[in-house]
Amino acid sequence: MSLFQLTTRRLVSQAFCGLKTAASKKQKVCSEMARPSSNMADFREVFAKAKHIVIITGAGVSAESGVPTFRGAGGFWRKWQAQELATPEAFARNPSRVWEFYHYRREVMLSKHPNPAHIAIAECERRLSKQGRSVVVITQNIDELHRKAGTKHLLEIHGSLFKTRCTNCGNVAANYKSPICPALAGKGAPDPETEEAVIPVEDLPQCEEDGCNGLLRPHVVWFGEALDPDVLTEVEKELDICDLCLVVGTSSVVYPAAMFAPQVSARGVPVAEFNMEATPATNRFRFHFPGPCGTTLPPALARHQTEIIS
């Protein structure tokens, strides 16, 4: 088992558990390393030679499509922050409130569209696949905008807003209904003055498997829950074989995803960070491109002059 696998297994229970920054000792080491380059021409030369590219994406990519992040100042739904609602305990106490929150998020996403960063990634994957090269996207986002953009090789490590899981039989199913159930129609408004719906459990989304009728929950990784081990195994495989890694729109503070790129960098693989600002991991990477991902990423992933298109 690789060092990456051992470390990931130790941290998996912290998945999506909030903001855990790198240790001060690690930050001291980072500060002593060479500053990353912002030379696009140099990055493009590395990109032209890469055969297996991993792209790790976070909330910053979706934010450029107008997707609420529920983080930082103003990151509230009504009077609650996401970490107060996105937990197994919150769902057990008040499934109606939690479903109102997720119903709101689902309805918002139906009106959102991929931005130039999503589209550049999907187009790059299509183009390189014709050259015998591969691109895989590992995303922390649950909004499916990568899927909408056309990305095929996609690992959604935190699940999807548009999948449900039965709390009784465990069945996982895609669900794009709007509303997801009649009782949630018109519910979920984020205004703090909104009256809570208090929907009976029997009227919340129910499993449609024969004879089950169990209460459904969103198929997402909540705070305090572990990542799906099968998905994590796929992530480990891709990170072990990649020869170029991009980190796009992520703060690099939510574990275990925050350690993916640094461990790739530690084995000598070039890592390029595309983010609005520097992160705790920036100085561990070869490249850093500040600014909106929708502006910086498309030229980075555009066809290189050495590419042969059949």
Helix (H) or strand (E) holding 219: strand 216-220
Report how far residue 215's alpha carbon sits from residue 231's, in angstroms, rounded to the nearest whole number. 24
DSSP-derived secondary structure for 266-286: HTT--EEEEESS--TTGGGSS
Active site residues: 158
CA atoms within 13 A on the CB side of 172: 9
Q: List the structure tokens of 109.
A: 């996403």
For residue 306, what is the DSSP state? T
Annotated binding site: 58-77, 102, 105, 140-143, 166, 169, 207, 212, 249-251, 275-277, 293
Q: Which residues contact 216 (CB under 8 A, 6 or more apart)?
A: 164, 165, 166, 167, 175, 204, 205, 206, 207
Measure CA of the first residue to CA of the last residue in the chain; give whole Å: 39
Annotated binding site for substrate: 102, 105
Annotated binding site for NAD(+): 58-77, 140-143, 249-251, 275-277, 293
Helix (H) or strand (E) holding 298: helix 293-301
Contact, 113 vs 66, CB < 8 A? no
Secondary structure (3-state) at 137: strand
Annotated binding site for Zn(2+): 166, 169, 207, 212
